[in-house]
Structure 1
Amino acid sequence: MFSVDYKVTVSDINYGGHMGNERALLLFQQARIDLFKSLGVSEINVGDNIGTIQKDAHVYYRAEIYLGDKLKITIKGVEIKKTSINFIYIVKNESDKVVLEGSTTIVGFDYERKRVTKFSEKFLNTLEDIFIK
Structure 2
Amino acid sequence: MARVKLELPEHFPYVTPIEIGIGQINYGGHLGNDSALTLIHEARLRFLRAAGLTELDIGGLGLIQSDAVIVYKSQAFWGETLLAEVAAADFNKYGCDLFYRFRQQTNGRDVLHAKTGMVFFDYGSNKPASVPAAFHNALKVFEAQETPA
TM-score norm. by structure 1 comes to 0.89
CA distance in 2, matches of 1:17, 1:34: 27
Give the deviation of 1:125 after TM superposition.
Answer: 3.9
Distance 1:64 1:88 in 2: 19
SS at 2:90 equivalent: strand
What letter matches 2:44 in structure 1?
R
1:54 aligns with 2:75: no
Query: Percent identity, aligned pairs only?
Result: 28
Structure 1 gaps, min length 5:
none
The 1:104–1:51 alpha-carbon spacing in structure 2 relative to 1, beyond 3 Å, is: same
The CA distance in 1 between the partners of 2:21 and 2:66, in whole Å, is: 27
Q: Distance in 1 between matches of 2:136 and 2:76?
A: 33
Give 1:89's aligned residue. Answer: 100
Within 5 Å, give how 1:1-133 maps onto structure 2.
Answer: 1-47=13-59, 49-94=60-105, 95-127=107-139, 130=142
TM-score w.r.t. structure 2 length? 0.80
* CA deviation after TM superposition for structure 1 residue 77, in Å: 4.5
Deviation at 1:52, TM superposition (A): 0.2
Q: What count of residue pairs does the alignment treat as equivalent?
A: 131
The alignment's C-alpha RMSD in Å is 1.8
1:37-91 superposed Cα distances (whole Å, 9 cap, x missing partner): 11221001111x2000000110000001111111000014422122111011110
